[in-house]
Amino acid sequence: MGVDLDGFLWARRRRIPFVVSLKGIIADELKNERGWVRVLLGLQAGWERRNTERADLVLVTSAYSAEVARWEYGVAADRLAIVPEPIELATWDAQFSQARRRLEKRRDAGPVVLSVGRMFPRKHFADLLWAAVRLHARIPGVQIRIVGRGPEWEALNRLRAELGLGETVALLGDVSRERLAEEYVGADVFCLPSVQEGFGIVFLEAMAAGLPVVACRAAAVPEVVQDGVTGLLAPPRDPAALAATLEALLRDPERGRELGAEGRRRVNSYTPERVAERFLNAVRWTVKRAAPPTRGD
């Protein structure tokens, strides 16, 4: 993010390729924001565009982000490579194991839906609160636990009070890594109704914990959460459909376990070692392409 002028100049002086890695496309993220966040992201998007214009290679985390980079920044397809985000699976496994030893979930507790993310408008946490109203009426005792803070924190707290969800929805704010591991292993379903994700690392974290995922069919989400395979996808911006999808999964624990197990299996494709190999292959290709032709070529 921003203008890496030093890196660009350093690379040019040494006549080596300049590689830019984008976690998300800021020009895409700002479309769902407002106020000072939108203004700040607009400035950052301009800097990000300058970076991509100078780059010999632009790394993005999904096919969706590759398309957006072509559209928003004019990055040619031959300068793009997809390298997904990695997850430190061994570290998470150790923390999940410790969390399970610490956490003794009561057998008579109601089902738990966990959500994790920064509270920006594009995450659409309000949709989850509206869905919680329907879920509470249909499944008494259901708990919605949301980890994270952000610009929408105060608005979501007000909405929670207005909807009378004080005993159903817990807004936990930012928590420690150890506490987050406890939240994952204590949940039955993970849900994030975001409408804009360049990838979505929290989906991998949930899958690593063996949780089935409920999300929206939007942006890069279907590339990470495979509908009917590792989770269920609902239409975006539709709290009623989101509630129905969550209810279907909460009423069918066996299917939830099957989706969670498949998610856990597939998350192995995103270990640092496998992602690093994709990164190195992309960089090697760029270096080879940038190399001057040898005599006789």
Average pLDDT, the chain: 93
Residue 111 and residue 9 share a domain = no
Residue 212 and residue 178 share a domain = yes
Residue 246 and residue 128 share a domain = yes
Residue 278 and residue 259 share a domain = no
Which pLDDT score is estimated for 1?
43
Q: Which of 35-39, 183-187, 223-227, 249-253 has the lowest mean pLDDT?
A: 35-39
Asked whether residue 156 is domain-assigned, the answer is yes
Asked whether residue 195 is domain-assigned, the answer is yes
Which pLDDT score is estimated for 294?
56
* pLDDT tens, residue by residue, 42-74: 999 998 999 999 999 999 999 999 999 999 999
Asked whether residue 297 is domain-assigned, the answer is no
Residue 257 and residue 181 share a domain = yes
Residue 218: closest CA among 195, 243, 193, 192 = 195
Q: How confident is the model over 162-166, as a mean pLDDT?
A: 97
C-alpha 250/C-alpha 65 separation (Å) is: 32
Asked whether residue 295 is domain-assigned, the answer is no
Phi, psi of 23 (to 5 degrees): -75, -35
Asked if pLDDT for residue 246 goes beyond 90, the answer is: yes
The set of residues, in sequence order, having a beta carbon less than 8 Å from that of 7 and lying 6+ positions away, is 18
Q: How confident is the model over 222-249, as a mean pLDDT?
A: 99
C-alpha 158/C-alpha 140 separation (Å) is: 22
- What pTM did the predictor assign? 0.93
C-alpha 135/C-alpha 260 separation (Å) is: 21
Which pLDDT score is estimated for 34?
84
The CATH code of the domain that includes 74 is 3.40.50.2000
Start-to-end CA span in the chain (Å): 38
Residue 100 and residue 68 share a domain = no
**Number of domain units in the chain:** 2
Phi, psi of 230 (to 5 degrees): -115, -5
Residue 176 and residue 154 share a domain = yes
- Residue 8 banded pLDDT, cuts 50, 70, 90: low
C-alpha 239/C-alpha 129 separation (Å) is: 8
- SS3 for 227? strand
Residue 251 and residue 107 share a domain = yes
Residue 219 and residue 126 share a domain = yes
- Residue 28 banded pLDDT, cuts 50, 70, 90: very high
Asked whether residue 296 is domain-assigned, the answer is no
* For the chain, percent of residues with pLDDT exceeding 70: 91
Q: Which helix (H) or strand (E) holds 60?
A: strand 57-60
Residue 167 and residue 40 share a domain = no
Residue 204 has which token pair?
A: 């991998």
Instruction: Report the b/e string of 186-197 with b at 16+ CB within 10 A.
Output: bbbbbbbbbbbb
The set of residues, in sequence order, having a beta carbon less than 8 Å from that of 21 and lying 6+ positions away, is 58, 59, 83
Residue 243 and residue 113 share a domain = yes
Which pLDDT score is estimated for 37?
85
Residue 149 and residue 241 share a domain = yes
Domain with 192, as residue range(s), is 89-269
- Residue 126 banded pLDDT, cuts 50, 70, 90: very high
CB 188, CB 256: distance < 8 Å = yes
Question: Please, which residues bridge with residue 21 across strands?
Answer: 59
Other CB atoms within a 10 A radius of the CB of residue 103 amount to: 12
